[in-house]
Structure 1
Amino acid sequence: MNFEEAHRIRNLPPYLFARIEKIVAQKKEAGVDIISLGIGDPDLPTPDNIIEEMNKAIRNPVNHQYPSSVGMLSYRRTVADWYKNRFGVEIDPATEVVSLIGSKEGIAHISWCYLNQGDTVLVPDPGYPVYAVGAILAGAEPYYMPLHEKNGFLPDLAAIPEEVAQKAKMMFINYPNNPTGAVADETFYKEVIEFAGKYNILVCHDAAYSEMAYDGYKPLSFLQIPGAKEVGIEFHSVSKTYNMTGWRVGWAAGNASVVKALGRLKSNIDSGVFQAIQYAAMAGLTGPQDSVEKMRSIYQERRDMLVDGFNKLGWKLQKPKATFYVWAPVPKGHTSESFAELVLDKAGVIITPGTGYGQMGAGYFRMALTVEKDRIVEALNRIKDNIGKVLF
C-alpha cells in the first residue's frame, strides 16, 4: 500500500549528511578506499573519566526509571556552574536551563514553541540545515540572511528589509560558525541584542563549538553580553567538547520563559535524557579538562596541515580560529557540486558541497578535521596527484 506523506515531510529536502553516508557506502562497496572529510563527527575517544562515570551510573537502578523531562537539577546546576566558571555568566539552574537530547533536538523543537503557520524566522545562509528544517516543520517561512565573506560571515542586520524585521519572530545565529568557521565579537552580539529588542525577536544562539578554538582564542558566549537573556537563549552540548556525539545530551540556557516553554513541549513529546548519561556529562563538565586541551592541540595541528596543504595546491586560505571545519572556495570553472564530485571520483575523498548549507554556500566546500594526520596527508596527495594540475 502507498500512504500519502504529510506536506511538512514532502517539503523537506533529504538531510545532507544522509546523502553523504549513502555515497560513502556505495563507494566502499565498490572497493574504493574513501577518505571522508565530510561529516563533522569527532574521531577522538570520549575521555576515560566520563566513561567510568557512565559505567558507575548505569549500574544504579535509580537511573533505570523515567528521568525528568527537563533534566536532573544536579545536571542543570552543573551547567550553570560551567557557565559561571567559563564565561562569568550567572544562570539560575532551576529556571534558566533545560536538558536536551543533544542540542540538535532542541534547535529543531524551539520553532514549535514560538512559530505559527506563515510566521517568519531569520536563518543564516549558509547555515546548519536544522535551523530552517525545524521552522519549516512548524509551518513557518525562513528568511535567509546571507553570510558574505567580505562581512566575516556575519549577517548584515541593517540589510534585512523593514517589513521582514517587523514580521520576524525568531532569529538563529551560530558562532563559532558551522560551516564557515567564522567567529563573532562582542560588537556583533550587541547589535543582535539591540535588533532583537527593537523588533521583539527571539534570538537562538547555537554555541556547539565554543570550546573548539585555537591559537589562544576563546569564543564568547552570547549570554555573557548584557541584555542577552532578555531576548534569547543559547544551545550547547558536550558532543564536540568531549567527543560525545553519539551520547545525545545537551542543554538550552537563558531566558526563563523560553526555557520553560521548551521544557513544556519536551514533556509532551519525549521522556528526557537517560540519567546515567546526564551523570556522564556532569563528569565531563566538572572533571579535568586536559582532554579538551589535547583535543584542541590535535585539531589545530590537523588544521595547519590541511590549510597549508591546500595553499600549496593554489588556494589562499586563512586558518580558522575555531570549529573543526575548513571552508574554502571551489576553483574557477566548478560549482560546489561538480568539484565535490570530481574530488570523490578522482581522489576518493569526500568533501561537502557548500550548497548543502544553503544557496549562499554556492562556490564553496567544507572539510572536517575529523580524520588522523596520515589520512589528511593521503587526501592531499591524492588531490595533488589526480586533479592538482587542473585546479587553477
Structure 2
Amino acid sequence: MITEAKRLQSVQEYYFSKKLQEIANMQTDIPIISLGIGSPDLQPAPEVIETLITASQSGNNGYQSYRGLPIMRNAMAQFYHQQFGVTLDSATEILPLMGSKEGIMHISMAFLNEGDKVLIPNPGYPTYSSVTELLQAEPLYYDLKGENDWLPDFNQLEKLAEQKPKIMWINYPHMPTGATAPREVLEQLIAFAKRHQLLIVNDNPYSFILNDKPTSILSIDGAKDVAIELNSLSKTFNIAGWRVGMVLGKEEFLNSILKVKSNMDSGMSYAIQQAATKALKASEEWYKNLNNVYSERREIIYNICDKLNVKYDKNAVGLFIWAKLPEGIDDKSFIDKILYDKKVFITPGSIFGNNGKGYIRFSLCAPIEKLNEVVERL
C-alpha cells in the first residue's frame, strides 16, 4: 500500500484551494461575487504589458540565471532606495523569487531543522504555519490582538524566547488586519532578535496599498544582522499571476536560500523579468491612481460593513478590510450563510488563527459595479 508522507498528517489543503473549488461547484441562478482572495483585478501599466510582449519576441526563451537578470536586480535596488531609503547591493543582497510565497518555503528549508522552533503571528498568513509543519519544525504562536493594535506583546515574546526559536515571522503592513508597525516597534523587534540570536523575516507585500508611510524593516539600524525581507510585485503592480518576488538582506543569508532555490526552479522567464524591471520604475502617478481606485472601493466596503453591523478600523491599510462581528457570532457560519443566501463570498477570520475568530475579511479586489451589487444583495 502506497501512503503519503507523515509530514502531510499535520497539514491540510490550503483553505482558499478548497473553498474556491466548493464555490466553483455551486449551482446558482446568479453569479457568486467573491470578496475573499486578494488577487488584483486591475491591469498592469500599458508600458509594462508592451515590455512583456516585446521581450517575449526577442528569442531569449531559454533558462535564466537563478539570481535573475542584473537589470532587474538593479531596478529592485533602486526601488528600495527610492521608496524605503534602504541601500542594497544588487549583486549580493537581492535574490529574485518566483513569487514571495515560494520564498517562505525556501527560507524555511534553508534555516530550519526538524524540531526547530518558529515564532508565528496569530492571526497571520496560514502558509507560515503549514510550511513550518511540513518541515517538521514546531510553531510557537505569538498573539496579536485588537486591544494592542495587532502588535506583538514583548512580555509574551520574551517568555517564548526561552524555547530558543530560530526564525520569527512578522508581516507589516499586517495581513489580515491591515495594522502597521510604528518604527519604534520594529526597533524593538530587531533588538529582540539580537538578544536571542534569531532570524526575523518581514513579509512586506502590502506597503503601497492605501498606506502613506511605506516602511522596510531593513531601514532600521543593524537590521541586516538579524533580518531579511520578502517583497512582491503582485499587489503593487497588478501582476500576481506573473509570480515576481524577492528576498532582500545580508549576502550570507541569501546564499543559504539560493542553495535551496537553485535546486527547486530553473529561473524566471526573461520576458517577465524585463516587464518587472519596467514596473519597478513606475512614476508616483501610478501609485496615486492605484490608491484612488482602492480608496473608492474601500468606501463601498465600509457601507457593506455597516449593513452587516460589523466594526472596522479606518486607520488600517492594505488590500483588505478586517471587521469584527457582534459577540457570539461564529465567523465561518456567518460567511457561509451570506454565501448560500446572498451568493457573496467573504473570508472568515478564524482561518488566520484563533485570534481571528469572530472576525471577517473583505478583499478590495472587485470592481465598483460588483461591490455595488453586493450592497444591493445585502
**How many angstroms apart in 2 are the aligned matches of 1:344 and 1:330?**
16
Q: Contact 2:301–2:362 (CA<8 Å) still a contact in 1?
A: no
**How many angstroms apart in 2 are the aligned matches of 1:273 and 1:137?**
25
Does the alignment pair 1:98 with 2:87? no
Q: CA deviation at 1:289?
A: 4.3
Counterpart of 1:127? 124
**How many angstroms apart in 2 are the aligned matches of 1:119 and 1:380?**
47
**How many angstroms apart in 2 are the aligned matches of 1:163 and 1:178?**
22
Q: CA deviation at 1:31?
A: 3.3
Letter in structure 2 aligned against 1:52: E
TM-score (normalised: structure 1): 0.93
Q: CA deviation at 1:107?
A: 1.5
1:89-168 aligned at under 5 Å gives the runs 89-160=86-157, 162=159, 164-168=161-165
Counterpart of 2:322? 327
1:357-368 aligned at under 5 Å gives the runs 357-368=352-363
Structure 1 range deviating more: 354-363 or 325-334: 325-334
1:24-63 aligned at under 5 Å gives the runs 24-27=23-26, 29-61=27-59, 63=60
Pick aligned residue for 2:257 from 253, 259, 262: 262
Report how many aligned residue pairs link the two structures. 378
Counterpart of 1:277? 272
**How many angstroms apart in 2 are the aligned matches of 1:177 and 1:161?**
21
**How many angstroms apart in 2 are the aligned matches of 1:368 and 1:136?**
27
Q: Flag structure 2 segments of 5+ consecutive residues without an equivalent.
A: none
Counterpart of 1:9? 8
Structure 1 range deviating more: 264-273 or 118-127: 264-273
**How many angstroms apart in 2 are the aligned matches of 1:3 and 1:51?**
46
Give 3-state SS (helix, strand or coil) of 1:60's partner.
coil
Letter in structure 2 aligned against 1:58: S
Cα distance per residue 1:224-265 (max 9 Å; x no partner): 111111111110111001100000011000122111111121
Give 3-state SS (helix, strand or coil) of 1:4's partner.
coil
Letter in structure 1 aligned against 2:191: E
Letter in structure 2 aligned against 1:342: K
Counterpart of 2:287? 292
Q: Contact 2:112–2:166 (CA<8 Å) still a contact in 1?
A: yes
Structure 1 residues 165 and 235, CA gap change in structure 2 (3 angstroms): farther
Query: What's the Cα RMSD here?
Result: 1.5
TM-score (normalised: structure 2): 0.96
1:142-291 aligned at under 5 Å gives the runs 142-160=139-157, 162=159, 164-214=161-211, 217-291=212-286
Counterpart of 1:386? none
Q: CA deviation at 1:374?
A: 2.1
Q: Flag structure 1 segments of 5+ consecutive residues without an equivalent.
A: 384-392
Q: CA deviation at 1:163?
A: 5.5
Counterpart of 1:20? 19
Structure 1 residues 112 and 268, CA gap change in structure 2 (3 angstroms): same
**How many angstroms apart in 2 are the aligned matches of 1:165 and 1:14?**
32
Q: Contact 2:210–2:294 (CA<8 Å) still a contact in 1?
A: no
**How many angstroms apart in 1 are the aligned matches of 2:74 and 2:377?**
49
1:64-83 aligned at under 5 Å gives the runs 64-83=61-80
Q: Contact 2:161–2:196 (CA<8 Å) still a contact in 1?
A: no
Q: Percent identity?
A: 39
Q: Contact 2:122–2:143 (CA<8 Å) still a contact in 1?
A: yes
Cα distance per residue 1:350-378 (max 9 Å; x no partner): 01111111121111111101111222122
Structure 1 range deviating more: 98-107 or 127-136: 127-136
Give 3-state SS (helix, strand or coil) of 1:98's partner.
strand
Q: CA deviation at 1:193?
A: 0.1
Q: Contact 1:153–1:180 (CA<8 Å) still a contact in 2?
A: yes
**How many angstroms apart in 1 are the aligned matches of 2:258 and 2:213?**
30
Give 3-state SS (helix, strand or coil) of 2:241's partner.
coil
Cα distance per residue 1:255-292 (max 9 Å; x no partner): 22111111121111211211211111000001434333
**How many angstroms apart in 2 are the aligned matches of 1:362 and 1:158?**
23
**How many angstroms apart in 1 are the aligned matches of 2:189 and 2:158?**
15
Pick aligned residue for 2:344 from 338, 345, 349: 349
**How many angstroms apart in 2 are the aligned matches of 1:103 and 1:163?**
27
**How many angstroms apart in 1 are the aligned matches of 2:205 and 2:365?**
16
Cα distance per residue 1:97-117 (max 9 Å; x no partner): 001000111012211011111
**How many angstroms apart in 1 are the aligned matches of 2:7 and 2:50?**
42
**How many angstroms apart in 1 are the aligned matches of 2:314 and 2:20?**
27
1:300-315 aligned at under 5 Å gives the runs 300-315=295-310
Q: CA deviation at 1:64?
A: 1.2
